Chains A and B, each alone.
Chain A
Amino acid sequence: MDTSKHKIDIDYVAQLARIELSDAEKVKFSGQLENIITYCEKISQVNVDGIEPMSHSFPFYNVWEEDTPESTFAVEDVLLNAPKADEDQIVVPRVVEE
């Protein structure tokens, strides 16, 4: 990685994250994020050859349960906070198969 200031494709990333940004926000955020990323480049300087990545604090394995059914939500709980619902289902504008 080079040490010059990092560039970020804010349109692409904001679209991936599904957050609409105004032009002003794009300018503001990309500046701030580029500063942070540039600061984070520090980690590229340390040698991590042969080091296992740590994605859990403690290495437990096989945390599971037997396949025994338990209680479910009432439909009212499912729809409790729904912005729009009909026929016990969540309603969204028609989605076309992507």
Chain B
Amino acid sequence: MEYEAVIGLEVHVQLGTKTKLFTRVPYAYGAEPNTLTNSVVLGLPGALPVMNLQAIRDSIRVGLIFNCQIPEICKWDRKHYFYPDMPKNYQISQYDKPICQGGEVEIELPGSARNIMGKHRMVKLTRIHLEEDVGKLTHIGNESLVDYNRAGTPLIEIVTEPDMHNADEVFAFLKSLRMHLLYAGISDCDMEKGQMRCDANISVRPKGERKLGTKVELKNLNSISGVCNGVSFEIKRQIESLESGQRILQETRRWDAEGGITISMRSKEMAHDYRYFPDPDLMPVKISKEWRESIRAEQPELPFIKQERFFQQYDLPYSVTSVICPDKELSDYFEEAVSLYNQPKMIANFIVNELLRELSVAGTNGSLPLAESKVKPHHLASLAKLVDQSVISSQIAKEVFNEIFKTGQNPEKIVEDKDLKQNTDTSAIEKLCADAINNNPKAVAEFKSGKDNAINAIKGQVMKASQGKANPKIIDEILRKLLA
């Protein structure tokens, strides 16, 4: 029998607010243990929560990006369970009235080759809600240490419908989610830093069957590769179980990345009774249509829509748009350069082939951020203009680019100072051509016997003698005239 997997995800993303969700204590990754707390974070007797408006705004923005419905009223509920990393032993979350409902995330599946765009489809969302994070446990020997720095930081939990069917789709979903959230400046979504965490609900069913199979909740998917490997393994495990006549148990399993397997954590019988009820310490949130629409109006153009526009407007290939469009800063940079000199293809190539390569090796640890690059959009516009107007050759342009990257000087000045202008003085080039003909009798003979390609060897000699500055078109004309 053929089986089909059905996958839904619950993705937690840490919002990049300056302070926590219910108190104005700052948060910073990697701070000394327990230095980012107060009475509210620690859940001391008498402490009370006060909402962070920015977290609400950010959540509305996320909802609008993914076409969610933003209900007029959302509220806060307490979710109860005891755990040492959770100071109050309840988490303030949203139960039946979340800030975003429904929605969809556009994903791009892998293409048949790297430079070919894959199929796009929508993955349906159930909801997005806002909640507070817990602290961090470190296990040493037979003890655990608790650091409450992270406790109370805002998380959005994005819950999808059971709408994915394999690890490729899951990967594409997380990639798209991350791209959009980075795009809107909501979060850095760094899984290593715990800024994005993913649980998966996985079931399998015979192909063609409509009813969902028994679902397993998979936890501890702490990296992108963990998600893909964990999901693939679990699908395989479930199919093999069914094929060998076993039943799938409804349970929670964890991905053991080292062992490459999933391990049972608890069964349904031990499921939690969270005792949700509305938090009496917090007032509900009312989001007016006007407010919602004003946030929508500020929303940036989204990457997949931008890519479509770049195809149309600039006639750029997928290999270029797929690099530039997912990065808002980079695509803004590109468009600024193009607005100064309308040579989109040339500018895009400078960015993809020169700029990104140089940035990737320039940083002291990791790549240099675009904002710190000495090459600004006006530099690329000027550079494109110099090439376009045949002032320099495209080969020289690379040399000029490297100089801009190092010094931030204007390309015109670099060309001037280094005397890099193309030579269009025909009499000087004629002399170099004549010399080259004299020094390459073999190539000349071949050309004359009808082998047109042989002229390139002679051209190369001329170019070399001119230190790259002779205009290739003029060389061609003169050589053909002399050899005629």
Contacts and interface: CB of A to CB of B under 8 A. Distances in A.
Interface of A: 16, 18, 55-56, 60-73, 75, 78-79, 86-95, 97-98
Contacts of A86: 143, 145
B137 A64 contact: no
Interface string B25-56: 11000001111111100100000001111111
Contacts of A87: 33, 145
Given A63-B51, A67-B19, A68-B19, 11 more contacts: A63-B50, A69-B18, A69-B24, A70-B25, A72-B36, A72-B38, A78-B34, A88-B34, A89-B34, A93-B142, A95-B144
Given A61-B283, A63-B50, A68 B144 contact: no
A88 B146 CA distance: 9
Given A56-B283, A98-B83, A93 B144 contact: yes
A75 B147 contact: no
Interface stretch (B177-185, B273-281, B397-405, B408-416): B273-281
Interface of B: 17-19, 24-26, 32-39, 42, 50-56, 73, 82-84, 137-139, 141-148, 220, 254, 265-266, 273, 275, 277-278, 280, 282-286
Nearest to A16: B273
B144 A73 contact: no
Nearest to A75: B34
Contact of A65 (B53, B144, B146): B53
Given A16-B273, A64-B51, A94-B141, A88 B84 contact: no
Contacts of B266: 98
Contact of A78 (B18, B37, B220, B282): B37
B51 to A, nearest CB: 4
Contacts of B73: 61
Contacts of B25: 69-70, 72
A67 B280 contact: no
12 contacts: A60-B283, A61-B283, A63-B283, A64-B52, A64-B56, A65-B51, A70-B25, A71-B38, A72-B25, A90-B145, A91-B144, A95-B84
A73 B220 contact: no
Given A78-B42, A89-B146, A65 B24 contact: yes
A67 B58 CA distance: 11
Nearest to A90: B146
Given A61-B286, A64-B50, A92 B144 contact: yes
Contacts of B24: 65, 67-70
A89 B145 contact: yes
B143 A93 contact: yes
A90 B39 CA distance: 15
Nearest to A61: B286
Contact of B35 (A55, A69, A72): A72
A13 to B, nearest CB: 10
Nearest to B148: A78
B38 A73 contact: yes
Contacts of A91: 143-146
The 6 closest A-B pairs by CB, nearest first: A67-B54, A64-B51, A89-B145, A69-B26, A61-B286, A70-B24
Contacts of B52: 64-65, 67
Contacts of B144: 91-95
A95 to B, nearest CB: 5
A14 B385 CA distance: 78
B51 A97 contact: no
A95 B82 CA distance: 12
A27 to B, nearest CB: 23
B82 to A, nearest CB: 5
